[in-house]
Amino acid sequence: MPKKQNYKYMQCARKMPPLYHTIPGEKFDIRKSRVVWWLIKQPEIMQKLFDVASSHKLIEYDVATKKWKGVDFIDDDD
């Protein structure tokens, strides 16, 4: 039986004000979506995004630099 997903972190979306997903008169661009902008500024969603990336080992913490980075990041300065 598949594991049931927990979407409690998304409850903040219930209080989102009226916003455009596609800007009137413009071609759709997800990077300009006011809905997406609002959502990603919510602390609950920011925390969940970080938790998912971390738990799926997509990002890792470097103890020496005290910074997080993508596991496939290649530093061209080296």
pLDDT tens column, 1-55: 777 788 899 999 999 999 999 999 999 999 999 999 999 999 999 999 999 999 9
DSSP string, 3-24: PPP--GGGGGGGGPPP--SS-T
Residue 75 pLDDT level (bands cut at 50, 70, 90):
confident
Cα dist from 18 to 38, 39, 57, whole Å: 10, 12, 35
Better-scored residue on pLDDT, 60 or 5: 60
Query: For position 78, what pLDDT does the model report?
Result: 60
Better-scored residue on pLDDT, 44 or 75: 44
